[in-house]
Amino acid sequence: MTQGPLTTEAGAPVADNQNSETAGIGGPVLVQDQLLLEKLAHFNRERIPERVVHARGAGAYGTFTVTADVTRYTRAKFLSEVGKETETFLRFSTVAGNLGAPDAVRDPRGFAVKFYTEEGNYDLVGNNTPVFFIRDAIKFPDFIHTQKRDPYTGSQEADNVFDFWGLSPESTHQVTWLFGDRGIPASYRHMDGFGSHTYQWTNEADEAFWVKYHFKTDQGIKNLTAEEAEVLAGKDPDSHQRDLREAIERGEYPSWTVSVQVMPVAEAATYRFNPFDLTKVWPHADYPLIEFGKLELNRNPENIFAEVEQSIFSPAHFVPGIGPSPDKMLQGRLFAYGDAHRYRVGINADHLPVNRPHATEARTHSRDGYLYDGRHKGAKNYEPNSFGGPFQTDRPLWQPVAVSGVTGETVTPVHAEDNDFVQAGNLYRLMSEDEKERLVKNLANAVSGVTRDDIAERAINNFRQADEDFGKRLEVAVRELRG
């Protein structure tokens, strides 16, 4: 900000910012004191509604660099050559907590990356886990209601959490992740990120591939135990935000190695797991990681509200060569995220500096609405027009997907080895004995808070179906805690 006199919002110089106008010394305040009224009115409106989920977050700018040729899979220009760099903004977050909640809690972490590409912004909105609790977006509001404060008690209730999970066995895999050692990352720098969903890549020849993104932390994985997190959350609720900011200030720029798993489209129909089911992973033995980039965070935001709180990410923000898949959770998010931003930040949220394209210019026929800045001036606002306005390219960003059958409310297709427990059991059996003990202890502490025996038993039974030993140990631990 330039030096000079303090001014009102309209630019008039302020004579006295310490005392309000009164009718005589000690008299009542005058309505003509417009500086006072302006300041109070602005203060009342300084906060926008917090995000319904992922409200608690931190962010930073960075650089994505291509390290390997992937042009055989995608025609996205920002991935077109080795060494190419693209500016990015990454927002980390917890899911269930509100804006004032502590960072060091057992909760998935949002991992949302905005690539400011020359073809427009590409948003990859993921988590620090490769799977999620549910596979269909129609269940998402119900799921989040169980994670948020109960409308009667005003607190998060174990009954709600485990009642829903117990009645939604597809959540077993993600719950096993969440209550394992990686359930409470030590910092945002020391955790992996995942696109989680399946996406489509399309090359110049219009060949399509299904892909899953992986961001492997170069700082190494570090986690907190439940006991460590409890202490840290009380001592420093801002622990993860502070760690990220201070690391960048020190010049210790965190980075991630970026890879994809690639599945030829023809293999999807017969793959042993449904490749579009968000509760499942693709085992690396089937589709190994292909490394193609490096993501580094190297610049802190200058204003948290303007650049972190008002930042928006939408999985519908694609660029040529990248598109969606039939993943039913992703399909719902394509609508829900943009709709949330239009409600929370406003219809012109994409005009804000942190959200607008940095490497190109947005050319649309949208006009007016809250905070519209008049950028289009007198240009025509319809298409087609003969006044030199923007025009369509006639080339889709991604390839169409073949569909068949009749419309209706359908369950997610089941593939040869699909069930709700197999991958949770595989994850459990991969753990060391110490990891299993901590997982069972963490889960038992949570389940023991349930007030109804039938809810606790149903929750335990899901883990028993994943692995008999897992369920048996959990049952014993819960019984001991519940007396």
Give residue 369's pLDDT.
86
CA angle (207 as vertex; 206, 213 as ends), nearest 5: 110
User: Among residues of the chain, what percentage have pLDDT more than 90?
Assistant: 86
What digits encode the pLDDT tens for the residues 27-36?
A: 999 999 999 9
Q: What is the pLDDT of residue 321?
A: 97
* Tokens at 271, concatenated: 């793959």
Separation of alpha carbons 446 and 424, rounded Å:
18
Residue 291 Ramachandran class (φ > 0 left, ψ -120 to 50 alpha, else beta): beta
Residue type, 402: A
Q: Which amino acid is at 351?
A: H
**7-32 confidence digits (pLDDT tens):** 989 999 999 999 999 999 999 999 99
Q: What is the pLDDT of residue 91?
A: 98
Over residues 117-168, the pLDDT tens digits come to 999 999 999 999 999 999 999 999 999 999 999 999 999 999 999 999 999 9
- ∠ CA 454-456-461, nearest 5°, is 90
The residues annotated as belonging to the active site are: 54, 127
Tokens 């008299």 map to which residue? 27
For 193-228, b where at least 16 C-beta lie within 10 A, e where not — what string? bbbbbbbbbbbeeeebbbbbbbbbbebeeebbebee
CA torsion, ordered 244, 51, 312, 66, to nearest 10 deg: 40
% of the chain with per-residue pLDDT over 70: 100
Residue-wise pLDDT for 349-389, tens only, equals 999 999 999 999 988 888 888 888 888 888 888 888 899 88
Structural tokens at position 402: 């073949």
What pLDDT does 140 receive? 95
Helix (H, G, I), strand (E, B) or coil at 45: coil
- The torsion region of residue 321 among left (phi > 0), alpha (psi -120 to 50) and beta comes to left
What is the chain's alpha carbon radius of gyration, rounded to the nearest angstrom?
Answer: 25
Q: Is the pLDDT of residue 54 over 80?
A: yes
Residue 384, preceding peptide bond in cis (omega within 30° of 0):
yes
Span 84-89, mean pLDDT? 98
Q: Which residues have a Cβ under 8 Å from the Cβ of 336 and sit 6 or more positions away?
A: 137, 140
Query: What integer best gives the mean pLDDT of the chain?
Result: 95
pLDDT of residue 1: 58
- pLDDT-derived band of residue 180, with 50, 70 and 90 as boundaries? very high
